Chain A
Amino acid sequence: MSRRQLAEAVGVNHQTIGYLERGDYKPSLELALKIARHFGVAVEMVFSLDRFPMTFGRKGEGG
């Protein structure tokens, strides 16, 4: 799924999804819940106070 598709699904700018991916922006509770609902998972599966363990990509990047 592209940033733009997710952005349209949850009603934000696609750049906002990019900043979320990179950890540069902390979403509101409403947006976090919308994203979790879109993927059909609990919000803790998408967002966490601690960094998620990396499975690929550069170290230090995480949702």
Chain B
Amino acid sequence: MTRSHRSILSRLDDAVRWTGIPARVADPLVDGKHQPLRWVPLLLIALSCLQLVVCFIWPQEMERLSLATLVALMPAMVLGIGTGVVVVYMSGPLGKPSREDDEREAALRKDSLLFCLGLLAALNGLGQPILLIMSQWQNWQTGHGAMVVISALILNATLLGTLPTLYASWSFRRLPKE
């Protein structure tokens, strides 16, 4: 297939390979060089939590935010959600093995997703009533409420995209050399 006739998905595959991550993942895990992916997801979760906390700490400033600021934040939200969707579904839809998964990897992917979805359900089940109570108690203005909602959405998307990786990283045990 010539380069001009390649599909978008094929080009995206090339872009992913260009990052070097697939080759790194394919490396043997016994050489000591391979580091479980842990800090990047933790950093993203920390930033998303910080964004939500800022909405609580400086509500007055949040209320002054204009619609333009909210619109400016939308790409970040779309990026977060998009990343989560791509990571979770394109790489193995809800526990079904991707082309290169074997049965252990498929089981790990399924466990990771179940852990992620369970934790998200618990967090949202607890968090939403708390946010509702706080909004009534502190008499949030529309702008403040919108910022909190958007921040919570971004946090949800971040958790959806990163928790499976974190779970897999925590369950990873380095293999001894043969």
Contact = CB atoms under 8 A, between A and B. Distances in A.
Interface residues of B, number: 11
B175 A13 contact: no
A13 B178 contact: no
B175 A12 contact: no
Contacts, number: 35
Interface residues of A, number: 17
B74 to A, nearest CB: 40
Contacts of A3: 178
Interface of B: 28-30, 102-105, 173, 175-176, 178
Given A15-B104, A16-B103, 14 more contacts: A2-B178, A3-B178, A11-B102, A12-B104, A14-B28, A16-B102, A16-B104, A18-B30, A18-B176, A19-B173, A27-B103, A27-B104, A28-B103, A30-B103
Interface of A: 2-3, 11-16, 18-19, 22, 24-25, 27-28, 30-31
